[in-house]
Amino acid sequence: MFWKVITYFFMALGVIVMGGGGIWSFINPQFNYILCFLLPGYFFLIVGVSFALRKYFDLPNILTISRMLSVPLILIMLLPGIYNRQTAILACAIFCLSSVTDILDGFLARRMAVVSNMGKFLDPLADKLVYLTILVALIPRHMVPMWLVLIVLIRELFITGLRTVAAGEGMIIAASRGGKLKTMFALTGMAALLVHHTYVVDFFVFKLPVSFHVLGLVLTYISLFFCITSALEYTYRVVKALTAKQKTVAESNNEGALNGAG
């Protein structure tokens, strides 16, 4: 009963803050709706949904789902008329926070010994949903070229298909170092792209204006290199493993046929 009351309280609080804040901001335009109402309201809503899910999912999976729920908020920040320097920083902060939950959910799953098939399904799904959705949303703002997004999308679909084939054969191909580097550069590049604007950065010895848009593109292009090379490496490893398995099965069948003949 206690957890049900807490769940309804936070969900109702989130709806009231977002809805009531919209009316209040319309009456008093000096209030920033996003900062004062949307962000807190959406946070309360996610907390309420998390409490509702605790009955069906463990903590690592709830963190994974909350990561997926952060996507709409980031997309709102990128909308015309809303996107500015402030909301760009907020979008980056939310994205970085969701990336932290990606590390945290895996750590907790291993620490709490609650590694599950559901978690193995949800975690990569959340990773792809968060990154690819935001990447596509950057196209209309001319922050990333369409050809780059298409290559990344095709690569992810191809690798997902390969993983399905490998899993169907009972094989688990671990992520390569190139795949991990791809993820690292992709996430840092996305964070920089979301900031987008130019800021003077103090490097202690000197100050230098840094275009985070250019920095983000450079990091994303580096991740694209590892995106392609890691896909080729993964394909080679899967084909090699499948060939070896088929060879073993063929040899076993031949041996069985010889024993049967003898």
pLDDT over threshold 70, residue 202? yes
Instruction: Give 122's pLDDT tier (boundaries 50, 70, 90).
Output: confident
Instruction: Give 261's pLDDT tier (boundaries 50, 70, 90).
Output: low
Q: From the CB of residue 142, how many other CB atoms can be counted at a distance below 10 Å?
A: 9
Task: Give the pLDDT mean for 93-98.
Answer: 89
Specify the range with the lowest mean pLDDT, choosing from 51-65, 139-153, 172-186, 208-222: 51-65
Q: Are 187 and 131 in contact (CB under 8 A)?
A: yes
pLDDT over threshold 80, residue 25? no
pLDDT over threshold 90, residue 217? yes
Helix H, strand E, coil C: the string for 57-122 is CCHHHHHHHHHHHHHHHHHHHCCCCCCCHHHHHHHHHHHHHHHHHHHHHHHHHHHCCCCCHHHHHH
φ, ψ of residue 142 in degrees (nearest 5): 60, 35
**DSSP-assigned letter for residue 171:** -
Q: Where are the beta strands (DSSP E) in 126-179?
A: none
Two structure tokens written together for 2: 């206690």
| Integer CA distances (angstroms), 27 to 30, 31, 33, 123, 227, in order | 9, 9, 11, 42, 49
Task: Give the pLDDT mean for 246-252.
Answer: 73
Q: From the CB of residue 201, how many other CB atoms can be counted at a distance below 10 Å?
A: 12
Task: Give the pLDDT mean for 2-15.
Answer: 70
Two structure tokens written together for 195: 């900031």
Whole-structure pTM over 0.85, yes or no? no
Q: Where are the beta strands (DSSP E) in 155-260?
A: 198-202, 207-211
DSSP string for 87-101: HHHHHHHHHHHHHHH
Domain limits, the chain:
1-56, 170-262
Q: Are 193 and 211 in contact (CB under 8 A)?
A: no
Average pLDDT, the chain: 81
Two structure tokens written together for 225: 């290199």
Residue 258: the pLDDT is 57
Instruction: Give 134's pLDDT tier (boundaries 50, 70, 90).
Output: very high
Q: How far, in Å, CA of 231 to CA of 161, rounded?
A: 12
